[in-house]
């Protein structure tokens, strides 16, 4: 039973364009969501997060949108850069728990 789903295993975009990575969840008790970025042979690094009391959080080129009614969140990267090429993991936590549930990841490739 996968509670956090990233249905697109891969995404390819041109440099300078927008990258949109999607994530769906099934557990309505999730109240905090995070995005992690992972390069090959390295541990994931925290990118951006959002609380369920918000519907948008922005940090530079990265914006996360949360649609609670649809149980859907998305990460927008504008403009995309070749250095953004990595696997992006969506993660969620429930009710103050520090345990995170991760999706399977989406591999983003930004072509020069």
Partner 1 sequence: SQTIHQWPATLVQPVGSPLSLECTVEGTSNPNLYWYRQAAGRGLQLLFYSVGIGQISSEVPQNLSASRPQDRQFILSSKKLLLSDSGFYLCAWSVMGYYGYTFGSGTRLTVV
Q: Rule CB under 8 A: which residues touch partner 1?
A: 6, 32, 34, 36, 41-46, 49, 89, 93, 98-105
Whichever of 39 and 82 has its CB closer to partner 1, that residue is 39
Closest residue by Cα to residue 45 from 99, 87, 1: 87
Whichever of 41 and 70 has its CB closer to partner 1, that residue is 41
CB of 83 to partner 1, least distance (A): 19
CB of 49 to partner 1, least distance (A): 6
What is the rounded CA–CA span in Å between residue 100 and residue 112? Answer: 34
Find out whether 42 and 49 touch, Cβ atoms under 8 Å. no
Closest residue by Cα to residue 17 from 81, 85, 64: 81
CB of 20 to partner 1, least distance (A): 19
CB of 86 to partner 1, least distance (A): 13
Whichever of 64 and 105 has its CB closer to partner 1, that residue is 105
Whichever of 36 and 84 has its CB closer to partner 1, that residue is 36
Find out whether 2 and 102 touch, Cβ atoms under 8 Å. no
Say which residues have a Cβ less than 8 Å from residue 40's Cβ, sequence separation at least 6.
none
């Amino acid at each position: 039973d996968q509670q956090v789903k990233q249905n697109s295993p891969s995404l390819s975009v041109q440099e300078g364009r927008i990258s949109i990575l999607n994530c769906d969840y099934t557990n309505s008790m999730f109240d905090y969501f995070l995005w992690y970025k992972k390069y090959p042979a390295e541990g994931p690094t925290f990118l951006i997060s959002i609380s369920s009391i918000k519907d948008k959080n922005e940090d530079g080129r990265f914006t996360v949108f949360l649609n609670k009614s649809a149980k859907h969140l998305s990460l927008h990267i504008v403009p995309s850069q070749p250095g953004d090429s990595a696997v992006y993991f969506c993660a969620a936590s429930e009710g103050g728990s520090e345990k995170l549930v991760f999706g399977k990841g989406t591999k983003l490739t930004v072509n020069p």
